[in-house]
Amino acid sequence: MKNLIADGVSSGWSYLDASTLTTDRHFEADIVIIGSGAGGAMAAEQLTLAGFKVIILEMGALYEGKDFQQQERWAYPALYQDGAGRKTLDQSIGILQGRTVGGSTTVNWTTSIRTPDKALDYWRAEFGCDFTSDNLAPYFQQAEQRLNIHPWPVPPNANNDKLKQGCETLGWQYTVINRNVSGCANLGYCGMGCPINAKQSMLVSTIPSAMQAGAILISRVSARELKWQNDQVQSLVAVPVDQYYQPTSKIKLSFKAKHYIVAAGAIGSPALLLRSKLPDPSGRLGKHTYLHPSAISGALFDEVIAGHSGAPQSIYSDQFVWPGDGQIGFKLEVPPLHPVLMATKLTGLAQSHAALMQQFNKLQVIIALLRDGFHPDSQGGTVVLSDQGEPMLDYPLSDYLWQGVQKAYLAMAELQFAAGARSVLPIHQDAQLYSSWKQAREAIKSLSLQKYRATLASAHVMGGCNMSANAGQGVVNLQGRHHQLENLSVFDGSVLPSSLGANPQLTIYALTLRNTAALVKALK
């Protein structure tokens, strides 16, 4: 086991931790990429191999393989936005988002799903996108080969197996998940950074490859403003972050490049464009941000579940994701069960909470990811800037969404009982442990559908710089190029015009590969 990047740096790769700087610095390159996640790093490899001089900027720190500790108290502050405490503006939805070299790919649960046809159809109808599963297939294949994405051949852990069993009993659809792993030991700690380099995140694939070919990586740096004039970005100003990842003001880093790629994630990218006061004639910059808001249902089983152990996600069910009645759909998956993640999400207080935690190993948990953004009553959230210029996501919860939450509680409870649960607990302040499906069904129908009562979480942030054929309908064009500024692209989840009804990493990889190929052609 090696620390690929650290070893490469010892042998001469270019790496800088911006927080160690004591004087201002200026850099020049062909292409500056802001963000080292699924979009930024995938583009970095292709562009470097095509012969461009590339600089990759990352706000988080460089941690890899041997640095990862299998403890949430280490991993969350070190690897996640706001120490994994990121929330929407009114605090009603928790957001898990990576902030480290490799971005969310360093901490995600490895689920790799091609963009659903129904999402592509919607983008074509509403935003003039020209994608089909056929014309994207070469890019999906390229990403799948690059990251060894394949169906997980190992039997699911008990947490996932209960999802499967419930589906089998009820005759509901389910699928074995494709994962981007190689030599995976089925540990269950993907969310804290893979300690054995098995997860094929950007950290072990495209970033080392780009650096080997000459790309410069700068960590702990926050991009503050794109300076622009007429239709050109002139330069980028950035600052180091401190030990708590707060931007500092003493030292400045400036960058001049022929082309700039923003890939700071669907909250960070719109924030940078907003801070830079970029033209926004469509009025959509920072708007229509989607989250797959997720409702949660816990269940207690007689047997041991130990949901912390084994691949975190290996089964999903699409039984309810595309209902024909115009209602919001939801995808059923499970999360890994670790103490902090569970203790903070589970309901109950004092003894009731402690009693639930004591049955931790018998707990099974399902999440229902609401497919937001395909309906007039689901237009997503808006990124606004705080007084300090930091992004805050205002995400209102509509009745349309709440109806989906209620249906999701019902489906999850029915499934958990069908899988043999002794009792089921919808994660809602007013809910209790119900001992039968009949009892749960009645109780769920009377749960108040209000923020703070229902615990909602998100691990997928999408939109905010959406792509569109027509400049009046989006921020970037179908190649991810900014509609107004000629030498600026956005390559990350923020270009998506809706949510996906599927985990986003593979969509981001494929679109980035496609758009990077077009960019290479255009710049050569």
Contacts to other proteins by CB under 8 A: 65-73, 76-77, 82-83, 85, 87, 90-91, 94, 187, 189, 195-196, 244-246, 308, 338-340, 342-344, 349-355, 357-358, 360-361, 386-388, 390, 392, 429, 452
Please tell me the distance from the alpha carbon of residue 73 to that of residue 192, in angstroms, as a whole number: 10
Q: What is the dihedral of CA 108, 109, 110, 111, to 10 degrees?
A: -110
Given the complex with other proteins, which of 166 and 195 has the nearer CB atom?
A: 195
Min dist. Cβ of residue 386 to other proteins (A):
4
How far, CA to CA in Å, does 383 sit from each of 350, 365, 505? Answer: 36, 30, 21
Least distance CB 202 / other proteins (angstroms): 20
Tokens describing residue 427: 């994660």
| Six-digit token string for 236 | 């980028």
Our CB check for other proteins shows the closer of 114 and 338 to be 338
Q: State which residue, 154 or 354, has the beta carbon closest to other proteins.
A: 354
DSSP 328: P
* 26 vs 73 by CB, closer to other proteins: 73
- Min dist CB 448 to other proteins, Å, is 11
> Residue 95 phi/psi, 5° resolution?
-125, 120
Q: How far is the CB of 353 from other proteins (least distance, A)?
A: 7
Angle between helices 437-445 and 399-418 (to 10 degrees): 170
Comparison of 116 and 193: residue with beta carbon closer to other proteins:
193
DSSP 8-state code for residue 422: S
User: Residue holding tokens 């330069």?
Assistant: 235
Q: How far is the CB of 159 from other proteins (least distance, A)?
A: 14
User: How many Cβ atoms are within 10 Å of 388's Cβ, its own excluded?
Assistant: 7
Which CB, 71 or 135, lies closer to other proteins?
Answer: 71
DSSP for 461-483 reads -EESS-B-SSGGG-SB-TTSBBS
- Between 130 and 430, CB nearer to other proteins: 430
Find the shortest distance in angstroms from Cβ 136 to other proteins: 36
Element (H, E) at 253: strand 253-262
Phi/psi zone of residue 321: left (φ > 0), alpha (ψ -120 to 50 degrees), beta? alpha
Helix ranges (DSSP H) in 393-495: 399-418, 437-445
Pull the structure tokens for residue 82. 């706001």
**Nearest distance from residue 53's CB to other proteins, in Å?**
33
CB of 65 to other proteins, least distance (A): 8
The Cα 266–Cα 270 span in angstroms is: 7
